[in-house]
Amino acid sequence: MIIFLTYFSLLIAFVAIVAKVFKYITTPEHLRWELYPVPHEKGRSKYGGSYFEELDWWSKPRRTDMFNELKEMAEEIFLLKGVYRNNKRVWKSSFPFHIGMYLSIGWLVLLLIGAVLEGNGIAVSSSAGVIGRVIYFATLIFGYSGLILTGIGAFGLFLWRISNSEQRIYNAPADYINLILFDIVILISLISHFTVDSGFSIIRGYVHSLLTFSTVKSIPGIMELEIVLISLLIMYIPLGRMSHFVAKYFLYHSVRWNDEPNERGSKIEKSLMKLLQSKVGWSAPHIQTEKPWIELVKETGDEQKTD
């Protein structure tokens, strides 16, 4: 039965993430609202400069530095540079939490690879061939370090949320419960693996069943509990704020670093011209409701009653 729960969780997680991406991807072209420093500004990003600093900037080729942008992204993703710079207290817990999450995702991927290998007759164990051995040990390293670091991080974040009086009024019960949930799942997982599946072979077998839609071999009760909890967590993360990575990607690329100038006849211009045809529903006295934007902004408004 638990296999259906796992399928269901994966489906929900997938749908939730796709829905989030869809939500942002389908929003219309907006007015520019970038915030400096913008890392792809070649030679200028260090001090927060832009092409607006140049004389006749529109007549010159734009000098961009995509490597620097990627570097900035990597530092943000793997080192949490922004948090480190501006809030070291949070970074101390947030950093292990995030690194733990990345390692845990790596662990799941390695379990997947291991399951595929085993399905193709390649053993995965400490005494197997080179590939099988590499995957086996990598799974061990990623699995245990991922779970432990995530657990430490989640606990640290929980302590910070609960102990910081200035912070407390902004926390919702859900914020505490998210973190507690993480720690419970991790604790059960660790107990389960320390006691019945220290080499991750049973869980690899479970992943194999998932992949091949085959019946799950009997697994110990504690592992059943672990799988149920991990499944619930996989489903829960994208539904809540913890999937902020999607929004963060768009915030940086579509808003904060988006300094693409609009040129005559450009794609941006075409979509803006279309948007200007939409009717305005605002109803303050200086706005003639239901007129298209394009007409409305060319007029100066009715007798103004606003003060």
Partner 1 sequence: MSKRPTKLKDISKNTERLHTILSGDLPPLPYPYEDWEDKPISEIPESKRKGKDISLDGVMNLSVPIPKTEGEKAEMVAKFLSGLRKLLTQENNWTFLEPFLLSLDNCVKCNTCSEACPIFEMSGRAEIYRPLFRSDILRRIIKKYLSPTGKLTAKFTGADIDLNWETVARLAQLSYRCTLCRRCAQACPMGVDNGLITREIRKLFSQELGIAPAELHKEGTVKQLSTGSSTGISPVALMDLFEFMEEDITDRTGMNIKIPFDKPNADILLLHNAGEFLSWPENIEAFAIIFEMAGINWTLSSELVGYDSVNYGLFYDDIQLARVTLKHAEIAKKLGVKKVVIGECGHAHKAIMAIGDRIWLDGVNIPRESCFATLEDLILNERIMIDPERNNFPVTLHDPCNITRSMGIIQPQRNIIKKICPQFREMTPHGVNNYCCGGGSGFAIMQSNNFPDWRYQVSGRKKFAQLLNAFTKEEIDSKTNKYVCAPCSNCKGQIRDLLTYYDAWDKVRLLYGGLVELIVNGMTDVREGFLEWEFH
**Using CB under 8 A, which residues numbered 215 to 234 contact partner 1?**
none
Choose among 253, 283, 236, 293: nearest CA to 24: 253
Q: Which is nearer to partner 1, 15 or 295 (CB)?
A: 295
Is residue 306 within the footprint of partner 1 (CB under 8 A)?
A: yes
Q: Is residue 257 packed enough to be buried (19+ CB in 10 Å), middle (13-18) or exposed (0-12)?
A: buried
Is residue 251 within the footprint of partner 1 (CB under 8 A)?
A: yes
Is residue 80 within the footprint of partner 1 (CB under 8 A)?
A: yes
Q: Give me 114's structure tokens.
A: 């291991």
Only one residue has tokens 């320390």, namely 194
Give the SS3 label for residue 302. Answer: coil
Is residue 72 within the footprint of partner 1 (CB under 8 A)?
A: no
The footprint of partner 1 on residues 7-46 (CB under 8 A) is 23-24, 27-38, 41, 44
Q: CA-to-CA distance for 235 and 6, rounded, in angstroms?
A: 9
Is residue 75 within the footprint of partner 1 (CB under 8 A)?
A: no
Minimum distance from residue 176 beta carbon to partner 1 (Å): 11
H runs (alpha helix) in 196-301: 201-212, 221-239, 244-250, 267-275, 293-296
Residue 37 to residues 49, 111, 290, Cα–Cα distance (Å): 7, 40, 39
Is residue 163 within the footprint of partner 1 (CB under 8 A)?
A: no
Q: CA-to-CA distance for 209 and 192, rounded, in angstroms?
A: 19
Q: Which is nearer to partner 1, 218 or 283 (CB)?
A: 283
Is residue 64 within the footprint of partner 1 (CB under 8 A)?
A: no
H runs (alpha helix) in the chain: 2-25, 66-74, 81-86, 88-119, 130-163, 165-168, 173-195, 201-212, 221-239, 244-250, 267-275, 293-296
Is residue 141 within the footprint of partner 1 (CB under 8 A)?
A: no
Give the contact letters, 81-100, x = binds to partner 1 (CB under 8 A), - = no: -xx--xx--x----------
Quick one: which of 77, 108, 148, 175 contacts partner 1 (CB under 8 A)? 175
Quick one: which of 182, 192, 293, 295 contacts partner 1 (CB under 8 A)? 293
Minimum distance from residue 290 beta carbon to partner 1 (Å): 10
Quick one: which of 15, 66, 282, 295 contacts partner 1 (CB under 8 A)? 282
Q: CA-to-CA distance for 175 and 158, rounded, in angstroms?
A: 8
Residue 100, amino acid: G
Minimum distance from residue 115 beta carbon to partner 1 (Å): 34
DSSP class of residue 264 equals T
H runs (alpha helix) in 164-172: 165-168
Is residue 145 within the footprint of partner 1 (CB under 8 A)?
A: no
Is residue 194 within the footprint of partner 1 (CB under 8 A)?
A: no
The footprint of partner 1 on residues 260-279 (CB under 8 A) is 261-264, 268-269, 272-273, 275-276, 278-279
Minimum distance from residue 149 beta carbon to partner 1 (Å): 19
Orientation angle between helical segments 2-25 and 221-239, nearest 10 degrees: 10
Give the contact letters, 93-132, x = binds to partner 1 (CB under 8 A), - = no: ----------------------------------------
